[in-house]
Amino acid sequence: ETGVTQTPRHLVMGMTNKKSLKCEQHLGHNAMYWYKQSAKKPLELMFVYSLEERVENNSVPSRFSPECPNSSHLFLHLHTLQPEDSALYLCASSQVPPVANTGELFFGEGSRLTVL
Amino acid sequence: QKEVEQDPGPLSVPEGAIVSLNCTYSNSAFQYFMWYRQYSRKGPELLMYTYSSGNKEDGRFTAQVDKSSKYISLFIRDSQPSDSATYLCAIRGAQKLVFGQGTRLTINP
């Protein structure tokens, strides 16, 4: 495995379900991110784990719960979601402090979530 | 006012055309200007980045930054069907990275 891998690629869930998204990075990075991508909207940063500290976007509802057991693995636990939460959820990793100053993010292919 | 504005398109042009993609931003503290490319069913990948005002060229792609106008552009020369993707501008300051909405581009053979 190389790069950033996400599972599952597609997920359909009801509003009362509990599910989790998984992300694994094989790049040796020390920061991992969850982004939400909705049509015609900017990528929305949800959570960052950097140098073992968590930074979160205060506008993210509590029905999204991240977990980062180590620098290579990241989870997003989902419970009692709403239809408006349907989106592509992207995991990314990077090196902190950034190399070459760009702070380049390396993204996975995303998990397409549909909430019925 | 949004920190970064990008026309989401869609934009459709014939093969071989010159494509111009643009973003405006509001915060003069932003320092690094990047373009990510996202193919369908894939995650975004960094395409180009610039630090200062001016042009940076990489093959058929040219990134342009005008800090005085807070305006960045990506030009694609001799566009190919394989360039069909969503292009996202991303601008970084000391503590934050902000993405544009992305422009969906289709190059028609």
Chain B environment of A108 (Cβ under 8 Å): 43
Interface contact A107-B44, CB threshold 8 A? yes
Is the pLDDT at B51 greater than 90? The verdict is no
Q: Given an 8 Å threshold on Cβ–Cβ distance, is B4 in contact with A107?
A: no
- In this complex, is the C-beta atom of A10 within 8 Å of any C-beta atom belonging to chain B? no
Read off the pLDDT of residues A14-67 as tens digits, 9 standing for 90 and up. Answer: 888 899 999 999 999 999 999 999 988 999 999 999 877 888 888 899 999 999
DSSP, residue by residue, chain B = --SEEE----EEEETT--EEEEEEE--TT--EEEEEEE-TTS--EEEEEESSSEEEEETTEEEEEETTTTEEEEEESS--GGG-EEEEEEEE-SS-EEE---EEEEEE-
Closest chain A residue to the Cα of B32, Cα to Cα: A102
Please state the rounded mean pLDDT for residues B90-98.
86
What is the model's pLDDT at position A100?
Answer: 62
Using a pLDDT cut of 70, give the percent of chain A over it: 96
Considering only residues 39 to 58 of chain A, which have any Cβ-Cβ distance to chain B shorter than 8 Å? Answer: 40-43, 45
pLDDT of A101 > 80? The answer is no
User: Mean pLDDT over all residues of chain A?
Assistant: 92
pLDDT of residue A99: 65
Q: Does B88 lie at the interface with A, CB-CB under 8 angstroms? A: yes
